[in-house]
Amino acid sequence: MSEAGYSIMLLEPLAKHTSFGVGGPADIYAECATLSELKAVLAQCKKDKVPFFIIGGGTNLLVKDGGYRGACIKLAGAFTEMEVIGEIFSCGAGVSLVKALSFAADSGLSGLEKLAGIPGTVGGAVFGNAGTRQGEIKDAVSSISLLTEASEEKELPVSAIEFGYRRSSLEGKGIITGAKFKLVPGVAEEIRAVAAGIIAERNKTQPKGRSAGSVFKNPESKSAGRLIEECGLKGLKVGSAEISMLHANYIINGGMNASDVLELIKKVKSVVLEKTGIALQEEIKIVGEDR
């Protein structure tokens, strides 16, 4: 525990904080339970000229084998609180999306259940406009609380944010500390039944194993999974990383090396480009450095 209250770990292995289960250590891993702790960490990073990034659930991240030369910041404590006032659902950015959906349903509020089955945190979901064919998180957002790198607190209405396919204009703007959602009244059992139905459908096509979900964004013309499959790449392996036989946009990692996953990504991009002329782009975020 630091003097400023936040908890600090040095050379914390990031592999255990990501769903891929790979990646070297972060020089500094700071867990912040309050806004003042978060501000203290940012001030320290600024003073020492240490780069930082926020980790949510680590479900859309590939950390390289050499780890991250800087501070990895995790939002905990007050950032995992939730509150409902009328039809407005306020959520800390560190709340898991699964818990948020469950809380909203219990409160008789509908609108988030279409995101059922997406892992990670509310902060990560807003940052990347997480979604499915049923809809995206942007559809329910009313406003976002942000702490800028200069430690300025901002409340942005949804109209001030641009959301696109798996992206938002919040990238590079600071740390999302919370979100407010405008939901509609519903019956808890019915909301839960919709979520259960979506999860049951997902389970049919979602591979088991360590992954970060879809690796590539869908190009405009076609789904990335279909393209990869049509290029005959299902089952392609590099070391312990493999293109899933069930869903070709998933890489399942069975080993300890991010380098296998990175090499497989490179191969897929190269074959798809050569065979179709389409340049796939990663949906996952890649951080850190090679060993």
Binding site for ligand FAD (CB under 6 A): 19, 53-61, 75, 93, 118-121, 123-125, 127-128, 130-132, 175-176, 206, 211-213, 285
Instruction: Give the nearest distance from C-beta 248 to ligand FAD in angstroms.
Output: 14
Instruction: Give the nearest distance from C-beta 287 to ligand FAD in angstroms.
Output: 7
Instruction: Give the nearest distance from C-beta 190 to ligand FAD in angstroms.
Output: 22
Instruction: Give the nearest distance from C-beta 257 to ligand FAD in angstroms.
Output: 18
Instruction: Give the nearest distance from C-beta 265 to ligand FAD in angstroms.
Output: 15
The torsion defined by the Cα of 150, 156, 162 and 164, in degrees rounded to 10, comes to 90
283 is catalytic: yes
The phi and psi torsions of 278 (rounded to 5 degrees) equal: -100, 130
263 is catalytic: no
Nearer to ligand FAD, 67 or 120 (CB): 120
CA distances from 177 to 34, 50, 87, 95, 258 (A): 10, 20, 20, 10, 29
What amino acid is encoded at 30 in this protein? A
Of 96, 145, 211, 214, the catalytic one is: 214
Nearer to ligand FAD, 19 or 218 (CB): 19
Placement of tokens 């992954």 in the chain: 211
189 is catalytic: no
Question: In this structure, what token pair is assigned to residue 7?
Answer: 């908890």
Nearer to ligand FAD, 59 or 259 (CB): 59
Nearer to ligand FAD, 171 or 187 (CB): 171
**209-246 burial string, b = 16+ CB within 10 Å, else e?**
ebbbbbbbbbeeeeebbebbbebebbebebebbbbbee
Nearer to ligand FAD, 134 or 270 (CB): 134
Q: How many CA atoms lie within 13 A of 67 on its CB side?
A: 18
Instruction: Give the nearest distance from C-beta 185 to ligand FAD in angstroms.
Output: 26
Nearer to ligand FAD, 156 or 271 (CB): 156
End-to-end CA distance of the chain: 29
Of 19, 166, 244, 259, the catalytic one is: 166
Could you give the residue numbers annotated as active site?
166, 214, 283
